[in-house]
Amino acid sequence: MQAEPVVYQGQFGEFTINDADRRGVIVYRGGLMVAALCFAIGAGLVLWQGANPAILPWLTPLYTLFCVSLGVSLLTIHIYMEPLHRALQVFWAIGCVASLAIAHFNPEPFALTVYRYPLSLLGVGFTFVALTGIFFKEAFCFDRVETKLLTPLVPVLLLGHLARLLPSSLERVLLLFWVILFLVFALRKVTQPIPPDIGDKSVFDYLKQQRLTRTDVSR
């Protein structure tokens, strides 16, 4: 016998969580896990064998899978503010297009180009702006220590490299912390109950109704 769905009391009324909601959360978390693993493997290769040119061809597919997984998570993430959600998706798209252009038009391996020419981060860096947006959302919603640290760490490392303000030894330390905290974040998401990631569906319904009302009035 199928159990009755749990009814939750939201800010604007009652709501239930269905299987599609749960699948969306699982996909969101799966995307984050794959992105974290790709980032960790790529960064680990750089930190361990950074002087070995043989690792460079491996970094491009790892980064590609990282971007695709991040895009999947951004598609399924629950954010009340739709403009913010769309902005993160736009940032991700800009970063992906810039990365594709650099990888396609530059004869050097992608990772080497980004490292040697920090100005490339003015395009590629938008991918990590989107990732930082996820960290900020998780820090705000769930008060997670790792995401509170990641939110400033990512821009500090990238902007520091862009402006050539950080010594390479410090960059390596910050990158290592980024890897560790990202993995901790992804692993903790796996064990988190699903309903909090879905949020208050009555808020989403209310905001959707408000948008429809404004559209009808404008007509």
In total, how many domains does the chain have? 1
Flag whether pLDDT at 4 surpasses 80: no
The answer to whether residue 127 sits within a structural domain is yes
Q: What are the pLDDT digits (tens) for 20-64?
A: 888 999 999 999 999 999 999 999 999 998 778 889 889 999 999
User: pLDDT tens across 100-156, in order?
Assistant: 999 888 888 899 999 999 999 999 999 999 999 999 999 999 999 999 999 999 999
* Residue 156 covered by a domain: yes
Within a domain: residue 101?
yes
Cα separations (Å) of 42 from 48, 62, 107, 214?
10, 6, 20, 47
CA-CA-CA-CA dihedral for 42, 68, 90, 17, to nearest 10: -120
Q: Can you give the residue range of the structural domain that contains 26? A: 8-194
Q: Is residue 211 part of a domain?
A: no
Residue 207 counted as domain residue: no
Q: For residue 205, tell me if it sits in a domain.
A: no
Is 66 a member of any domain?
Answer: yes
Q: Is residue 47 part of a domain?
A: yes
For the entire predicted model, the pTM comes to 0.90
pLDDT in tens, 167-202: 999 999 999 999 999 999 999 999 999 888 887 777
